Each structure stands twice: as C-alpha cells, then as structure tokens.
C-alpha cells in the first residue's frame, strides 16, 4: 500500500477521520448482515418449515458471494480507490436487503443474501487500503483494531436488538429501513469520492493495473509459507466462529436450555460483544511487529481453550451463565487474533497491493466459513434425523464437537510461524 510521505498523508486530519468513519460504517453493515442470519432465518424457517440444511445453504450464500469477490474487491480498491468501490457496494447491498425483506419464498431469500454478500465484499479491504494511505504505518494495527471493533458492533446489533426489531416491526419494515441506510451511506461516499487518498496518490505515483494486483496477490499466497500457515489458523477459527455466532448459537441455546428466543438471543450476543471487546483490546496489545507472533500464538491457544470450555458447558448443560461467559471469552480471543493476523498480512504486503493481498487471503477464510456453515447445517440435520428435542440437542453437541476438534487441530500451525519483525513486503 502506497505511503506518500508528506504531512497531509501522515496526519490524522478531520477530513480523513470523517471519511474513515463513513468507511467503517459501511463495514459495520458487512458484519451486521453477515451475522443477522442467526436471528432472521430461524424466524422464517419456523414460518415456512425449511430444513436445517436449507437454512444453512441460504445463510452461506452471503459467504459464497463475499468470498468470490474478496480478491477482486481488494484489487479494485487498490486500483480505483475505496470510496468509489465501497459506494457501489453499498448500493448493491441495499438492493439485497430489499429482496430479503420482501421475500415470499426461499429463492428470494437466497437472492437477497447473495446480493448482500456481493455488495458488502469490498468494505473491509476498502477501510484497510484507506488506513494505509491516510495514516502512518505505526498506527496501522491501532486503526485495524478500531475498524474491527466498530465493525463488530454490527454483529452485536444484529442479534438481540435485531430480534427485538423483527418481533416489533416485522421483517419487511426492518429490512426496508436497512436498505435506506445503505443507500444514504452510498450517496455520502459518492459525493466525497474525489478526496480518496488512493486517487491522490495515483496522480503522483504509478499504480499497478487491476489484473496485476490480482495475479500478484495469488502468486504471493501460494508461494509464501507464512501466509499459508496464517490461513490455516485464520480460516479454521473464522469458519468455526461464523458457524456459531453467524448461524446456530441462538438455536443451540434454545434447544439446550429451553429458553425463549429473546433470552437465547441475549446470551448469544455475548459472543459478538466478546469479539468487539477483543478487537478493541487488540488495538492496544502488542502493537510492534516484533510482538505480533507472540500475540497471535497466545490468542489462538486461548481461543482453542475457550471453544473446549464452551462446548463442554453446553454439552454438560452447565448453568447458562457458564457457556455465556465462555462464549464472551471465545469471541474476545478471536477479536485479538484477527487484529494481529490483519496487521501481519500488511507487514507482508508489497506497497500499493495490500488490499489485493488481504482480499486474496479473505477469499480463503470465507470459503472456510461456507464449509463450516453448510457443514454444520448438514451435520445437525443428519444427527437429528430421529426427531425430537433430545435428538436436536445431541445433534448440536456432535456437530460442534467436531468444530471444536478442528479448531484444536489447526493450532499445529503455530510452531512453524516466523517472527513478523524480520519480514517485509517481499518476504516469503
């Protein structure tokens, strides 16, 4: 990512912070819609009698579109600037929200999820590209932590508050309002597009073509052992989190404890709050690159331990505050981990191509989310085929026992990671 060393680029001026706030708001919606399926789809499923595998498939359509667009979005942000690309994305996601809200059959629901994922794909790489061009390199992990924190607030709002809004106002009205907010944000970014620092930098520095950025990102991922090891950790932890936080946590709480939908949503929200707090903590913890490996190692091991405690407490039917607290800690560890994995990718990126590299990495993490969401949907349906509440509880225990095991297995990648302080953009 290009850094133009003058006062205007290195300063955190009010105009840059204002644009940054708009881009982070767009990322807020990315997380909001990503996790909202855990609340909105069970309601529609109960109304229409959809199977668990169909619910998992419709939810995963967001991730299919999002994953496919990741490397393309990153390269587009590097080439044309995030303000223009993100604004078009918000227009697309607004249309997807309208389709989902007015859906009368599973096909319309799926189309809405697909368009929403397609439109929201450029948001995170767009913010990260803007950060790199607008703020000093030493502030990158700090701003990444703030970005993730505010973005993950969307996940918090998309559980209990969204459940309340859907119950109070109905799916159609809620998603119509969401679409209007998306359109308003798109208009604001379009108006400010000429202030994009990527475009300003391009006037003084030759920018690589879109295709060059795209090809370079995949070439680097396939050649870099460090990046592949990071993908094992990132893909497994993120896929597991999306299966739990993004789809099944509310239903699992209802099945295991027999609580109401609202109560289950409140306990599930603790996972999202944990991620948000972890992101904020990660912005301040171990910011220098020389401490990156230690931060990733400790947070990944802690994340695995939290999964074990959470799964055992749900399986053993401990008092509901126990899995609630474990879920918060699980989310917290994930939040810290993602801050430093993101900063690690930036450490390894060639200047001007950070968005492309991050987009390529994100492609594989979201493929993992697709596999975990669809896979857990299949397993829950398969294990609960005998019917009844007890069978459903055992199905969730079995499916997420497998998920927990996969998280633990992924930790074998940690001893092979190298220190990030010794690596720069051309290191493999």
Classify residue 388 as exposed, middle or buried by CB count within 10 Å of its CB (0-12, 13-18, 19+): exposed
Classify residue 390 as exposed, middle or buried by CB count within 10 Å of its CB (0-12, 13-18, 19+): exposed
State the Cα angle at 47 between 44 and 52, rounded to 5°: 60
Instruction: List, for residues 148-162, the tens digit of each pLDDT value.
Output: 888 888 888 988 899
Q: Report the Cα–Cα distance between both ends of the chain, in Å, rounded.
A: 17
> Does 286 score more than 90 pLDDT?
no
Kindly state the percentage of the chain with pLDDT values over 70.
Answer: 91
The residue-averaged pLDDT of 203-225 equals: 75
Q: What is the DSSP letter of 270?
A: H
Cα-based torsion angle of the residue sequence 127, 129, 135, 136 in order, rounded to the nearest 10 degrees: 130
Band (9; pLDDT cuts 50, 70, 90): very low
pLDDT of the residue at 352: 65
Domain 11-191+208-415, second-level architecture: Up-down Bundle (1.20)
**Structural tokens at position 137:** 């390199």
**Beta-carbon contacts of residue 274 (< 8 Å; ≥ 6 apart):** 327, 328, 329, 330, 331, 332, 333, 334, 335
Out of 111-120, 167-176, 197-206, 241-250, least confident range:
197-206
Instruction: List, for residues 231-252, the tens digit of each pLDDT value.
Output: 999 999 999 999 998 889 999 9
> Does 207 score more than 70 pLDDT?
no
pLDDT higher at 356 or 119: 119
Residue at token pair 């990158």: 140
d(CA 153, CA 130): 20
Residue at token pair 């690589």: 208
d(CA 125, CA 131): 10
């Amino acid at each position: 990512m290009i850094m133009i060393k003058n006062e205007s680029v290195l300063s955190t001026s009010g105009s840059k912070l204002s644009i940054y706030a708009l881009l982070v708001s767009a990322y807020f919606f990315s997380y909001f819609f990503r996790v909202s399926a855990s609340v909105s789809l069970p309601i529609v499923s109960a109304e229409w009698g959809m199977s668990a595998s169909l619910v998992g498939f419709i939810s995963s359509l967001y991730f299919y579109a999002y994953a496919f667009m990741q490397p393309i979005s990153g390269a587009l942000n590097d080439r044309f600037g995030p303000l223009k690309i993100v604004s078009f994305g918000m227009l697309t996601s607004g249309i997807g929200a309208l389709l989902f809200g007015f859906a009368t059959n599973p096909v319309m629901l799926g189309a809405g999820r697909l368009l929403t994922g397609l439109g929201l794909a450029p948001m995170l790489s767009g913010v990260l590209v803007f950060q790199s061009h607008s703020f000093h390199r030493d502030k990158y992990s700090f701003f990444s932590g703030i970005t993730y924190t505010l973005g993950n607030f969307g996940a918090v709002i998309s559980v209990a508050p969204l459940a309340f809004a859907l119950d109070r106002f109905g799916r159609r009205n809620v998603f119509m309002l969401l679409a209007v907010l998306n359109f308003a944000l798109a208009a604001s970014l379009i108006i400010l597009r000429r202030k994009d620092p990527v475009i300003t930098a391009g006037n003084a520095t030759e920018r690589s073509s879109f295709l060059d950025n795209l090809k370079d990102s995949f070439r680097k991922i396939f050649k870099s052992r460090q990046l592949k090891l990071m993908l094992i950790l990132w893909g497994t932890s993120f896929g597991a989190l999306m299966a739990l936080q993004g789809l099944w946590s509310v239903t699992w709480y209802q099945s295991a404890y027999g609580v109401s939908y609202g109560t289950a949503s409140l306990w599930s929200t603790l996972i999202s709050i944990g991620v948000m707090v972890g992101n904020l903590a990660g912005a301040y913890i171990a910011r220098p690159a020389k401490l990156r490996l230690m931060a990733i190692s400790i947070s990944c091991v802690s994340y695995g331990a939290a999964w074990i405690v959470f799964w055992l407490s749900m399986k053993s039917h401990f008092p509901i505050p126990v899995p609630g607290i474990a879920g918060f800690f699980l989310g917290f560890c994930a939040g810290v981990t993602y801050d430093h994995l993101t900063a690690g990718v930036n450490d390894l990126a060639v200047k001007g191509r950070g968005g492309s590299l991050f987009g390529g990495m994100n492609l594989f993490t979201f493929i993992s989310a697709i596999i975990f969401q669809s896979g857990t949907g299949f397993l829950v349906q398969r294990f609960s085929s005998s019917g009844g509440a007890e069978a459903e509880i055992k199905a969730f225990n079995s499916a997420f026992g497998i998920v927990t095991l996969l998280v633990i297995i992924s930790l074998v990648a940690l001893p092979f990671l190298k220190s990030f302080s010794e690596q720069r953009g051309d290191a493999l």
